[in-house]
A and B are shown apart, each in its own frame.
Chain A
Amino acid sequence: MSDIIDLTLVELVSKIKEKKISSKEIISAYVERCEKSKKLNTFITTDFENALIKANEFDKNPNYEKKLPGIPLAVKDLFCTKNLRTTAGSKILSNFIPTYESTVTENLWNEGSILLGKLNCDEFAMGSSNETSFYGKVQSPVGKNLVPGGSSGGSASALAGRLTPATIGTDTGGSIRQPASFTGTVGLKPTYGSCSRYGIVAFASSLDQAGPMTNDVKDCALLFEVMSSYDKKDSTSVNFKRSNYLKNLNSSIKGKKIGIPKEYRVNDMPKIIEDLWQKGINIIKDAGAKIVDISLPNTKYALPAYYIVAPAEASSNLARYDGVKYGFRSKGTNLIDMYEKTRSEGFGNEVKRRIMIGTYVLSSGYYDAYYLKAQKVRKLIKNDFDEVYKKVDAILTPSTPSSAFAIGEKTDDPVSMYLNDIFTVPINLAGLPAISIPSGHDPKGHPLGLQIIGKAFDEQNIFNIAYFMEQQINFKSKIKDWWI
């Protein structure tokens, strides 16, 4: 049965449709592996018993018309799941049991998928290493004491460690793509408005997008197809024609124009990253696609603008965690005291830091200098992309400026931690889709990813490019189950 966990999502779906395997067999295999993998600390809450019950129900009365028939999935603990604790990695939601389901997870269950449990993440998705979770740091399957990246670190770790055949995360500034890059997996940040934000614990509303994290591009196309839907319950959901991404997947990129932005060639870029990028460029060239040198002149302002906009929105989005309606409450001598203690004890340091930044940049006298300025910069960054997309079909960059670092290495220096997102943040600011695909290893054997950025709602195009590159790169995981 050990081979079940080595199958891709698409392979599992066909095996189950061909009746070569039952849902119960799949789920049992994953549950068994999850039980052996507690050292990774990927799960905050498991739902194995229910999963097995549902697997039995599926096997008794299978519906093979579904896109994910009887397939188990673990999801980031930022998605509200009905009757199953949802914490967002925070103490303040440690006892919160939603009475409702997020639209994205609802879409998964509607296609026959079965929930395995809720995956660890940085608290309120604020972090790049999964070290800010109240439920403990997540270990990377890549190596002991290595961070899996963040904030969807539990998702990346569970996926790379084969504790779930695929998973979903959220990406506000790189939270899907960076951990995907660090763990040698595929992660898509869809176009803003593709996946409903309804029922997802909000971090920064204008940047948050849910997206798939998978073993390969085909799985990614399939999972995105299931997740993405127009949702009237989310005013920022966009009603566009969603296609059959998996069926339309093709690996012909001949004639396509791919942009290489010079501003991503940052000063102290490690040679290994530069080589990786060059490798990607060569693959594209060899396929008969055209490499176009482009400029995105405002790139260097993206990260500072992001660290104004995201904390500002977060400071307001997290105001609802006040100990009144749900979640953790600390006893207070009066109302204000209760508020201040609840929020001081209920939030971790990084969350508090960002709430403070956000409160400051919105406060009287500073709004224009910070928030308004950042929104103007955002406009410039978007204009940069609009301009280059007149000339190219997609853009190729590295996903991260380095490979995974050690646990604890950057926790004392918030700015160096923030710099991790330098290649991913501009894409969120512009609302564009981008995919990270595993493209190589550093000398220590840590995975590295390349990022393909597309035009808005042009996910099919970046899937196609990624699919082609994936075949050429032929990435092989070096994960050796060190934790078992």
Chain B
Amino acid sequence: MGIDLKTVKHISKLSRISLDDKKAKKLEADLNSIFSFIEKLNELNTENIEPLTSIAETTLQLRKDEIKIKNIRDQILKNSPEKNKDFFVVPKVVD
């Protein structure tokens, strides 16, 4: 199966990574060579196989409903690129 340039651009939109045409072309070639190798899986019939749901040999641990985190706003905002003491700040969302 081939991945065309249009698909590459669609994936780049979905993953929010801008690509110029040159990079998109290079990526198209890379992805095609990677997928031709991935397609090896098609040889295998997996129709009646249950997919793996977790590799950890344990059951889901449940946590008690307790508040353990107090106000750590300073910590949370410490690394934010745009400084504001109360909020995270991003360029205006346009509809």
> Footprint of B on A, CB under 8 Å?
95-97, 99, 192-193, 206-207, 232, 235-239, 298, 300-301, 303-305, 307-308, 315, 319, 322-329, 332-341, 343-344, 347, 352-353, 355-357, 359-360, 363, 370, 372-380, 382, 414-415, 418, 429-431, 456-457
Contact = CB atoms under 8 A, between A and B. Distances in A.
A355 B50 CA distance: 26
Contacts of A327: 79, 81
Nearest to B19: A344
Contacts of A339: 16
Given A192-B56, A356-B11, A431-B56, A307 B91 contact: no
A236 B34 contact: no
Contacts of B81: 323-324, 326-329
Nearest to A356: B11
Contacts of B57: 192-193, 238, 431, 456-457
B14 A363 contact: yes
A301 B92 contact: no
A305 B41 contact: yes
Closest 8 CB pairs of A and B: A326-B79, A375-B51, A431-B55, A329-B81, A340-B18, A376-B46, A236-B56, A376-B49
Contacts of A308: 38, 41
B24 to A, nearest CB: 10
B51 A376 contact: yes
B73 to A, nearest CB: 12
A382 B72 CA distance: 43
Nearest to A231: B61
Contacts of A379: 49-52
Given A325-B80, A377-B46, A304 B38 contact: yes
B19 A357 contact: no
Main secondary structure of the interface of B (DSSP, over half): loop
Interface of B: 3, 7-8, 11-12, 14-19, 27, 30-31, 33-34, 37-41, 43-44, 46, 49-58, 60-61, 63, 72, 75-76, 78-82, 88, 90-94
A359 B15 contact: yes
Given A334-B91, A335-B91, A356 B8 contact: yes
A308 B46 CA distance: 16
Contacts of B31: 353, 356-357, 360
Given A324-B88, A376-B51, 20 more contacts: A206-B55, A207-B55, A232-B61, A236-B54, A236-B56, A238-B57, A325-B76, A329-B81, A332-B91, A338-B91, A340-B16, A341-B18, A344-B17, A353-B31, A363-B11, A375-B51, A379-B51, A418-B34, A429-B55, A431-B57
B5 to A, nearest CB: 13
A237 B59 CA distance: 10
Given A333-B91, A340-B17, A375-B52, A415 B34 contact: yes
A355 B82 contact: no
Contacts of B7: 360
A374 B88 CA distance: 38
A415 B37 CA distance: 8
Contact of A376 (B11, B52, B63): B52
Nearest to A352: B17
A298 B94 CA distance: 50
Contacts of B60: 235
Given A97-B79, A329-B82, A338 B90 contact: yes
A315 B31 CA distance: 15
Contact of B90 (A192, A305, A324, A415): A324
Contacts of A329: 81-82
Nearest to B33: A415
Contacts of B15: 315, 319, 343, 355-356, 359
A376 B52 CA distance: 6
A451 B54 CA distance: 24
B55 A239 contact: no
B54 A206 contact: yes
Nearest to A207: B55
A232 B41 contact: no
A359 B7 CA distance: 11
A430 B40 contact: no
Given A307-B37, A325-B88, A377-B44, A359 B55 contact: no
A456 B57 CA distance: 9
A11 B15 CA distance: 49
A414 B33 contact: yes
Nearest to A430: B55
B78 A304 contact: no
Contacts of B88: 324-325
B55 to A, nearest CB: 4
A414 B37 CA distance: 11
Contacts of B91: 332-335, 337-338
Contacts of B61: 232, 235, 237
Contacts of B76: 325
Contacts of B33: 414-415
B54 A353 contact: no
Given A304-B37, A340-B17, A414-B30, A99 B75 contact: yes
